[in-house]
Amino acid sequence: MKHLLSTADLTRDEAILILDTANQLAQATGQGVGKLPPLRGRTVVNLFYEDSTRTRISFEAAAKRLSADVINFAAKGSSVSKGESLKDTALTLEAMGADAIVLRHGSSGAAHTLANSGWISGSVVNAGDGTHEHPTQALLDAYTLRRHLRDGAGDLAGATITIVGDILHSRVARSNVHLLKTLGANVRLVAPPTLLPFGVDTWGAEVSYTLDDALVGADAVMMLRIQQERMNAAYFPTIHEYSQRYGLNQARVNLMNQGAIVMHAGPMNRGVEITSEVADSPQSVIVEQVTNGVSVRMAVLYLMLGGNEATV
């Protein structure tokens, strides 16, 4: 695996290999081994043009647990503010020894451009590009679903996953739909019509405007953050009305299958798309998603920089 840009690029076997590798690495580090050696001498750069808590810190933790050197670059406070381009920034980082660049950028397609432009020779991981994709989020979500619904092995064939909220602006939803379908799950998308993207009917998911209906028979629900920073118009009358129609409360959780889990990629708008009662309930795996993100990102970096390339 040279780059990870989109979950649409992953076959079922490639996705399963990443999830299985994450499982093995989680077991190894969980048994008190501490740091593992495979990326000793390699350098991973976190190149973040947009804010992040979970993704940036977990890539840093993942790289360090594999003994890589890590450079954290935030566009704020850098020469980007003087007009330096993505190309020149990446060339500068590669000149300092970057073997892989983990890129978060506000422009959809930025990671593809960096990977396919020929500017740099190293690997590129898409850590979120605009409203396009966030592949490692979908992989950690699949890992979490597999642990709870499938005893941590195989695929997600037959599972029903309901994704709710601001699908229009969500790179998390796009990456999840691709990957969940590749792993055999049934995917339901729920949102007001204004927050569904043009062409969503071609994604291979059931589309609904009614949350309660889409929760009946579901094995998991993924709540999406309302991305007000990307909204340049009024997509719903009021936050209160949105919350009434599309917010997850305990009564709605009770509509799902027994043992169903509640997910959110974070950061959450508590009281908007999810109540605190549900976010902090035993059915919520939101904090576990963060923990699993480190193992999954270790697997991606390992397979990209230190593992057997022929197997992915």
Question: Which residues of the chain form contacts with ligand CP (CB under 6 A)?
Answer: 52-55, 128, 134, 137, 265-267
* Minimal distance, residue 292 CB to ligand CP, in Å: 12
Cβ proximity of 214 and 246 under 8 Å: no
CB of 84 to ligand CP, least distance (A): 23
137 vs 160, which CB is nearer to ligand CP? 137
Which residues 6+ apart lie within 8 Å of 139 measured at CB? 7, 15, 18, 19, 22, 179, 296, 300
* Residue found by looking up tokens 């840009």 in the block: 5
Is-contact 100 123, C-beta < 8 A?
Answer: yes
Q: Please say which residue, 133 or 186, places its beta carbon nearer to ligand CP.
A: 133
Quote the least distance from Cβ 241 to ligand CP, whole Å. Answer: 26
127 versus 215: smaller Cβ distance to ligand CP: 127
Which CB atom, from 278 or from 306, has the smaller least distance to ligand CP?
A: 278
Report in angstroms how near the CB of residue 269 gets to ligand CP at its nearest.
13
Which is closer to ligand CP, CB of 55 or CB of 89?
55
Residue whose tokens read 């007000």: 228
> How near is the Cβ of 47 to ligand CP at its closest, in Å?
14
Q: 172 or 189, CB closer to ligand CP?
A: 172
* Minimum distance from residue 85 beta carbon to ligand CP (Å): 24
**Least distance CB 217 / ligand CP (angstroms):** 27
- Residue whose CB is nearest to ligand CP in the complex, by number: 55
- The smaller minimum CB distance to ligand CP, of residues 54 and 150, is found at 54
Q: Choose between 139 and 306: whose C-beta lies nearer to ligand CP.
A: 139
Determine the residue type at 23: N
Write out the chain in H/E/C secondary structure: CCCECCHHHCCHHHHHHHHHHHHHHHHHHHHHHCCCCCCCCCEEEEEECCCCCHHHHHHHHHHHHCCCEEEEEECCCCHHHHCCCHHHHHHHHHHCCCCEEEEEECCCCHHHHHHHCCCCCCEEEEEEECCCECHHHHHHHHHHHHHHHCCCCCCCCCCEEEEECCCCCCHHHHHHHHHHHHCCCEEEEECCHHHCCCCHHHCCCEEECCHHHHHCCCCEEEECCCCHHHCCCCCCCCHHHHHHHHCECHHHHCCCCCCCEEEECCCCCECCCECHHHHCCCCECHHHHHHHHHHHHHHHHHHHHHCCHHHC
> Least distance (Å) from ligand CP to the CB of residue 121?
27
